[in-house]
């Protein structure tokens, strides 16, 4: 029987620490860390995520504003909304809730966000630094959450065989880069991978981020492996991960549940980035004034 990695409990612990730091920041700077979220359209899953982010912000002593734009908004309207937030000194972090409607380019929109307000860590400047092994201003939230969840097991990452299933710019690629920085040997698999089960079954640490319910099955998991399930698939049976949890849990050494694994830690990482953004903005204002 594997050990369940309780992302919810870990996130609560981190949020308590962040609440203390946020309170200290407010008392010393007179400013409240503020996150602005742009939501385009009425995707029900996105609406839920945005509400969760806003609630988590407020519970941690930060502010959150949500700008809702209609589904048929033009790309230039979304860009205009971001530019107005870029120019607002009271806003420290800007997040565009993904996915965007198909007629809007994710890349164009995200790269309008000022790198110092890019709390999702997806701007070309922050992602470019990550690729070069430099320190970005902000780590992408879900990949950063994955690292924290793996570290919580006590399993050393250095020298391990890691398989990341999924090559998205939001999760798969940056997660692979962060694991490489910690000296893992990383393989990225995707829909065109030949013998996916054979490759996955060699992994000491297996990251599932492909967006297909219960795709990772027993024969794809090495006995004792750390299994991190990033998938959030909405089905008639409720939320289901990319891993067949019941089928795999007795073989894995450690495994994250869905829900209650990666999701809560991703939000905690967003709060951490928002606080960092506020601290950086305050330092810039301070240096301008002196």
Residues serving a catalytic function are 53, 97, 120
Q: CA-to-CA distance for 209 and 243, rounded, in angstroms?
A: 9
188-208: buried (b, 16+ CB within 10 Å) or exposed (e) per residue?
bbeeebeebeebbbebbbbbb
Closest CA to 263 of 62, 36, 5: 5
Task: With beta carbons less than 8 A apart as the criterion, state whether 170 and 148 touch.
Answer: no
Tokens of 159: 């020298």
Place of tokens 């966000």: 113
Tell me the angle at which helices 124-131 and 172-181 cross, rounded to the nearest 10 degrees: 40
| CB-based contacts of 8, cutoff 8 Å, min separation 6 | 260, 261, 264
Q: CA-to-CA distance for 116 and 130, rounded, in angstroms?
A: 15
Q: CA-to-CA distance for 30 and 205, rounded, in angstroms?
A: 44
Tokens of 214: 């219960």
DSSP characters for 202-234?
Answer: T-SEEEE-S--TT-B-GGGS-TT-EEEE---EE
Reduced to 3 states (helix: H, G, I; strand: E, B; else coil), residue 281 is helix
Residue 186 pairs in a beta bridge with 162
Q: CA-to-CA distance for 248 and 243, rounded, in angstroms?
A: 8
Instruction: Calculate the alpha carbon distances from 176 to 34, 164, 204 in Å.
Output: 30, 7, 14
């Amino acid at each position: 029987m594997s050990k369940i990695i309780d992302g919810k409990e870990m996130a609560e612990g981190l949020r308590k620490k962040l609440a203390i730091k946020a309170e200290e920041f407010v008392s010393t700077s007179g400013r409240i860390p503020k996150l602005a979220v742009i939501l385009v359209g009425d995707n029900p899953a996105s609406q839920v995520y945005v509400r969760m982010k806003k609630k988590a912000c407020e519970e941690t002593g930060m502010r959150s504003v949500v700008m809702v734009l209609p589904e048929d908004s033009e790309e230039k309207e979304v860009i205009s909304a971001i530019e107005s937030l870029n120019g607002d000194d009271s806003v420290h972090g800007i997040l565009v809730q993904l996915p965007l409607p198909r007629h809007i380019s994710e890349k164009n929109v995200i790269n309008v966000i000022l790198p110092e307000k890019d709390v999702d860590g997806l701007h070309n400047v922050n992602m470019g630094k990550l690729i070069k092994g430099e320190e970005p201003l902000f780590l992408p939230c879900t990949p950063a959450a994955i690292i924290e969840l793996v570290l919580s097991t006590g399993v050393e990452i250095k020298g391990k065989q890691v398989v990341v299933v999924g090559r998205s710019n939001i999760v798969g690629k940056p997660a692979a880069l962060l694991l490489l920085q910690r000296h893992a040997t990383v393989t990225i698999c995707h829909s065109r991978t030949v013998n996916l089960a054979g490759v996955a079954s060699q992994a000491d640490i297996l990251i599932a981020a492909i967006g297909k319910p219960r795709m990772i099955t027993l024969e794809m998991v090495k006995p004792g492996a750390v299994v991190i399930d990033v998938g959030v698939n909405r089905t008639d049976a409720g939320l289901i991960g990319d891993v067949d949890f019941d089928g795999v849990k007795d073989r894995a050494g450690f495994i994250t549940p869905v829900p209650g694994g990666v999701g809560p830690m991703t939000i905690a990482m967003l709060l951490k980035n928002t606080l960092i953004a506020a601290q950086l903005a305050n330092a810039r204002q301070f240096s301008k004034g002196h």
